[in-house]
Amino acid sequence: MLQYFPTPYPDELWYSVLCRYHIRTGNTTSAATFRELFGGKDHAALGSFLPNNLIFDIAGQLPDGTLDIEDIALNHTLFKYIFRFQPLENKNNILEMTKHGKINFPVKISKPYESMELKSCPLCMQEDFKKHGETYWHLSHQIPYVSVCQKHKCYLITRQREYKNELNNNFILPEYKDTDSADYQVSETELEFTKMLTRYLKMPLEAGPTDGYNNLYEGLLNAGYGLARKDMYYSVDYKRLSMNLCDRYGEEFISHHFGSIVLGAALIGQIRRWQKKSPEQYAILSMFLNQEPETTFSHTRIQNNTDRQFIEMSKSKIIRSKKFVAENLGVKETHLDNISHNLGIKPFWEQKPKTENPKSYKLALNLTKSEWDYINGCVNQYGFSSASGFIRYCVDEMKDRTDGITAS
Ligand SMILES: [Zn+2]
C-alpha cells in the first residue's frame, strides 16, 4: 500500500505525476521508487503518453478513490488527442480496459508519435514554480507537432532523450532555470497549428467522426472547392485546394503533413470518410477553413450552400441567364445541368424557346435615358438575359396582377 500520492496538477502529464511522487519520497535512487511503485520491477512503461496498465496498478495500491483512473486517462495522457479520429466504440473500449487494468498496449501508433520528446515552456515553468514550488510537464505541450506554448506564444524547449526508453527507467522533471529566456519568433502557422491541435486534445472524448458526412468536406465545398458531378455528390477541386494550401502554409509544411504538395483525389476521399487516423491533416484543413472543431464534430451536417442557393433561385419568377445563375452560385455553366439533374429541379434559367418565338414581334420603345438606364440596371442586378427578358417579366407581372380583375 502506498501512503501518499500527488494530486495531478491541471494539464499535467501522467509521467510527470510519477516523477513528482519520486521527488516527494526523498528516495535517493529511482530504483527504490521503482520497488515501491511497481512491485519490485526495475523498469515500467511510465514514459508512455498513452494510458496503460500502470495507472490501474498504482490506483490499486492506494485507498479507494485516491486516484481516478478515468480522469488520468482522459486528462493526463494524450489518449483523447491520438484517438480523436477513432470510432467512439474503440475509444470507449480502451477506456474500459484501462479502468480494469486489461489494456493491450502498445497499440499501433503512427510513426511521428513513436519517439516523442518532452517539451516545456520556460514561462509556464516560472509560473508553476512560483505557484506550486515545483515544475511539471504540461500535457498540452506534449502533443506531437505542437511547438509553441499557446498561453505565452513562445517556443517550447525540447528535451532530447539520451536513449529510446530513457523515461521508462528515470524520473525526469523539467529543469527550471531563472536565466531561461523565451523565444517569441514563432510563425503564424505554428501558432495556428498549436491552437487547433490543442483544441483537438481538449474536446470531450465523444467528439469524433460523424456518421455519413464530414463537415470539413462540406466546408471545402462551401468555400468554393466543389465540382458538381452528374449522379454524384460534389467532388473537391483538389488541384486548386492544394495550390491554395501551399500558398498559405508553404510547400514544406503541406508535403510534410500530406506526403506531397498535391492532395490527390484518393486522399481527399479518405479524409472525407474519416479513414485517416492522425489528427494533423484534419487540423490543417480546419484552420484553413477557419472551421471550429465544434462544427467539424457536430451532429448537424453543414448545409451545402450551392444546393441551397440553387433551390432558392429556382423558386424565383425571374428568368435569368445561365451565365448569371452560374456566376451567382460560383460554379461553371456546365455544372448547372449536373446540379439540376442531381437535385431533380428543372433548369430555371433562360432556355432556347421551344414553342412561340419571342422574337416574332418587335417593338420600338421610346424611353428617357433614365428609364433605359433603369432597365439595364435591373438586367444586371437581377440577372435577366436581356432588356427584352426584363420587359417580358414586367408584362407577366402585370398579367398576374390583373388576372383576377379582368376575370371578375
Ligand atoms: Zn507557457
H or E segment and range at residue 364: none
Lowest mean pLDDT among 104-108, 112-116, 232-236: 104-108
Distance 219 CA to ligand 1 centre (A): 32
Strand partners, 373: none
How far does residue 126's CA lie from ligand 1's centre (Å)? Answer: 9
AA identity, residue 33: T
In the reported structure, the alpha carbon of residue 209 is separated from the centroid of ligand 1 by a whole-number distance in angstroms of 31
Question: What's the CA-to-centroid distance between 184 and ligand 1, angstroms?
Answer: 11
d(CA 198, ligand 1 centre) in Å:
13
Q: Which residue has the cell 506550486?
A: 132
Q: How far apart are alpha carbons 340 and 311 in whole angstroms?
A: 9
354: pLDDT confidence band, cut at 50, 70 and 90? low
Centroid of ligand 1 to alpha carbon of 177 (angstroms): 14
Tell me: pLDDT of 405 over 90: no
Q: How far is the CA of 122 from the centre of ligand 1 (A)?
A: 6
Residues across the chain? 408
Dist CA 196 CA 283 (whole Å):
6
Q: From ligand 1's centre to the CA of 153, what distance in Å?
A: 7
C-alpha 248 to ligand 1 mean position (Å): 26
DSSP state of 77: S
Nearest to 7 by CA among 53, 62, 79: 62
Distance from residue 7's CA to the centre of ligand 1 (Å):
21
CA dist., res. 99 & res. 68, Å (int): 9
Q: What is the pLDDT of residue 112?
A: 62
CA of 167 to the centre of ligand 1 (A): 23
* pTM for the whole structure: 0.85
CA of 57 to the centre of ligand 1 (A): 32
**Of 199, 125, 187, 197, nearest to 159 (Cα)?**
125
pLDDT at position 318 is 83
Ion ligand 1: residues, CB < 5 A: 121, 123-124, 149, 151-152
Classify the C-alpha dihedral 295-300-301-304 as positive or negative: negative
**Predicted local confidence at residue 107, as pLDDT:** 56
Q: Given the C-alpha cell 484518393, which residue does it identify?
A: 266
- Spatial separation of the C-alpha atoms in residues 387 and 370, rounded to whole Å: 14
For the segment 258-263, the average pLDDT, to the nearest whole number, is 95
What distance in angstroms lies between residue 334's CA and the mean position of ligand 1's atoms?
53
* Count of helices and strands (H, E) across the chain: 20, 4
What are the tens digits of pLDDT across the range 277-318? Answer: 889 999 999 999 999 999 999 999 999 999 999 999 999 888
Ligand 1 centre and the CA of 204: distance in Å? 23
3-class state of residue 277 by DSSP? coil
Q: Ligand 1 centre from 135 Cα, in Å?
A: 12
75 Cα–ligand 1 center, Å:
18
Say which amino acid occupies 1: M
CA–CA dist 175, 227 (Å, integer): 54
**Cα dihedral 76, 81, 86, 91 in deg (nearest 10):** 10
User: At a CB cut-off of 8 Å and minimum separation 6, what does 140 contact?
Assistant: 11, 146, 150, 198, 201, 202
* CA of residue 124 to ligand 1 center, whole Å: 4
Hunting for cell 480546419 — which residue is that? 286
CB-based contacts of 57: which residues, under 8 Å, 6+ apart? 38, 39, 101
Whether the bond between 106 and the residue before it is cis, its omega within 30 degrees of 0, is yes
Alpha-carbon distances of 104 from 39, 100, 112, rounded to whole Å: 20, 11, 21
Give the whole-angstrom CA distance, residue 258 versus residue 261. 7
Distance 70 CA to ligand 1 centre (A): 26
The pLDDT score that the predictor gives to residue 408 is 46
Give the CA distances from residue 363 to residues 358, 360, 377, in Å, rounded to whole numbers and listed in that order: 11, 10, 20
